[in-house]
Amino acid sequence: MADYQLTATDSIIRTEDSACIPPDPANRDYADYLQWVEDGGVADPYVPPEPAPAQPSPEQAVLINHENRIRGFEGREPITAEDFIKELSG
């Protein structure tokens, strides 16, 4: 792990304390970062966060509830909202 990590914006994250450093030449921390890069430092790349799972609409929530009630009567395992949405999409 490097001393710094890039972000989706121009800001830099200092990994030591998770400080967000704006790209301002008057900022001492940013000047330290630029010196670190000049000395051969390579920041860790930006890693986008995992996308949030799809949330069912209110109508889908009613359908999922209905489906799971039927599955309960049939003695089957309930379906998750994620799997139900996949079935509707596929």
Token pair listed for 76: 């089957």
31 found inside a domain: yes
Tell which residue, 53, 59, 63, 69, has the closest CA to residue 84.
63
Give me the domain span that covers residue 33.
Answer: 4-38
In a domain, 52, yes or no: no
Nearest to 67 by CA among 79, 55, 59: 79
Total number of domains in the chain: 2
Question: How does pLDDT run across 41-90, given as a tens digit for each residue?
Answer: 999 999 999 998 778 889 989 999 999 999 999 999 999 988 888 887 76
H-run or E-run covering 5: strand 4-6
Confidence bin at 35 (pLDDT 50/70/90): very high
Distance CA 24, CA 13 (A): 14
Number of neighbouring beta carbons within 10 Å of residue 79: 15
